[in-house]
Copies of this chain bind each other. A is one copy, B any other.
């Protein structure tokens, strides 16, 4: 093993150490008054109860799938024998990252509220560094899992040639992403349904019917709402990005081993590059995290700037150091490959900015949306849908340009199919670039729900309204970072899925060899599959857009994105109705709630959300796993490739649309609340509340779940390639 590899486990240890360090520091702070502690404990209990329940369901699914993979591997010999284990570790580490992140967030919120009562800046720092625990845990555990498997497989896998061994190692490792993907699926879908059922339910009865403010302790669903922020936005988001992070690194390794087939030195370099970029990214993220600090008395704009300085510093540094990494690894085309990485980094930044433009009420689109509330809620909905759809244009063009650029640079400034494997490696490493500073970008993301919960705690503990004002500023900051974070998550998911799509061809080849097919007819040629490179496979008919099975697959893929969204959307609707019924019941049956004389039954609402989320997440989740298997069985490799392409294309655009519509509705409401068009409690305000409520499942359930769908379908296809090949040859 090349000594450079060891910086990967080293970076993992560093990341985990700083995660522990920030957690430890946060825990030393006071949680405030007795009421504050009590409220925090409610939220903590609710969140843990939910996670416990979710892990139960997930464990069953994992055991079932692991047994299934084991049967395919040991019974039918059409599956890599390492897959069942790789699958389990991927799931375990992803779940662990979510657990730690959420635990930290639930400890940090009351402490943030307490810190804010002293100074805004100490509140920001505490919340942000608690978010960083999540960011660093995700990258730390991700690199740890990668390191462990890389070492294990290097010891155990042997083969006829070194090149062959490296391909086997990388494609085997790729499948541990399937575990991460499955875990992320349940975390995102379940958490997404939970959080929005509680939020929509709380809003519909609380704000609209009883006309009490958000986070009011008289609202029985308010604790469930705060729990939801943690299980959906912290644990869900963390699992999602854990998967993108590992997926992009692993896919790049596999594509690198394939591109340099026959040249073990080149392969090793190509395998090390994504790991090294990620490892260095960890260190730069920590530097970025420490650079987030402001002078006392800073306002919102300055706070936003402080956060940007942190993330931009990390991004710029990794951009520069990438050149050095490729140079040290000894690539001849070191600066071209660096340009590929920079394409990915730049795309991430641009998508974030565009998202901010379309969803922040500092800009025209959301202001105009707020204005449309003057003609009622219907025009707010129409306007928000229109805005979201239009907002897809620039992010998509950005990703398209990033694809072309990263391919073109890595392929030696040509589109010649002879160089295609280098080009695909370039696209893949662009995804790694985009995600390299995940440690800090995820910190800004996980910070949001902590600030949100701090506000909730302040409100429910009836602290000085000034504290709530301060937490509102932190919350507003969190809303902006949440929106940009969503754009980033979608963009990176798209590039990762693309890398996985390219890796699928590798898996088909391995599958063919496993069933004993070595000679493949491609056009007029006969290709030896055991040594075939991607350029040899380029004319493969299963990749051809005129192949009817590819076309049918594309339609089905696009449909899957919509179907999956529809199912999760309806799940939220149903769960929210249950919550509404319960809240109405409590107002009716428990005397004195609305006068504040009697505590509502928070636990019952938490329980309803938990049950509803668990119940509702099963069908869409299983569908996402089964659909690619079924398409593979019925339509073969061509159908699967179509499915993945169609799902990726439509799913990516749909996800941006849903996220941005939802974000804009949220902030249009805030804009009206800031005193425009009649301000709070005006007719316009009511109209924007309808928009905000509709936007909740758009931006926090269905939209983010699509990130998982497009990656998971690729992962399932990769893992099940053996079965598909067995049936269709």
Contact = CB atoms under 8 A, between A and B. Distances in A.
Interface of A: 200, 204, 208, 372, 375-379, 381-383, 385-393, 396-397, 399-401, 403-404, 407-408, 415, 417, 420, 423-424, 427, 494, 498, 502, 505, 522-525, 534, 538-539, 541, 543-559, 561-563, 565-567, 569-570, 572-573, 576-577, 580, 635, 641, 645-646, 648-650, 652-654, 657, 689-690, 693-694, 697
A381 B694 contact: yes
Q: Lowest 3 A-B CB distances belong to which pairs? A: A389-B566, A386-B570, A396-B559
Contacts of A420: 546-547
A376 B200 CA distance: 11
Contacts of A401: 552
Nearest to A550: B545
Nearest to A385: B569
A690 B378 contact: yes
Contacts of A539: 522-523, 539, 541, 544
Given A396-B558, A690-B690, A569 B649 contact: no
Contact of A546 (B387, B538, B552): B538
A431 to B, nearest CB: 13
Report whether over half of chain A's contact residues are helix, strand or loop; otherwise say mixed: helix
A376 B557 CA distance: 33
Contacts of A544: 417, 538-539, 543-545
Contacts of A408: 548
Given A427-B548, A558-B652, A541 B417 contact: yes
A609 B543 CA distance: 48
A423 B389 CA distance: 36
Contacts of A645: 545, 551, 554
B690 A556 contact: no
A565 B523 contact: no
Contacts of A569: 382, 385-386, 389
Given A403-B548, A424-B546, A522-B523, 16 more contacts: A375-B576, A378-B690, A378-B694, A382-B570, A387-B566, A387-B570, A392-B559, A399-B555, A400-B553, A404-B549, A404-B635, A420-B546, A538-B541, A543-B544, A566-B657, A646-B649
24 contacts: A204-B378, A379-B573, A382-B576, A385-B694, A389-B566, A389-B569, A390-B562, A392-B559, A396-B559, A400-B552, A403-B548, A408-B548, A417-B547, A524-B525, A538-B546, A543-B546, A545-B550, A545-B645, A558-B558, A558-B652, A562-B653, A649-B650, A650-B654, A690-B690
A502 B546 CA distance: 7
A409 B15 CA distance: 59
A534 B697 CA distance: 46
Nearest to A690: B378
Given A396-B556, A545-B645, A389 B204 contact: no
A393 B559 contact: yes
A539 to B, nearest CB: 4
Nearest to A401: B552
A605 B397 CA distance: 39
Given A386-B570, A392-B562, A650-B649, A375 B546 contact: no
Given A396-B559, A577-B372, A404 B525 contact: no
B572 A382 contact: yes
Given A545-B641, A563-B392, A649-B646, A552 B404 contact: yes
B400 A652 contact: no
Contacts of A424: 546
Contacts of A389: 562-563, 565-567, 569
Contacts of A377: 377, 690
A640 to B, nearest CB: 11
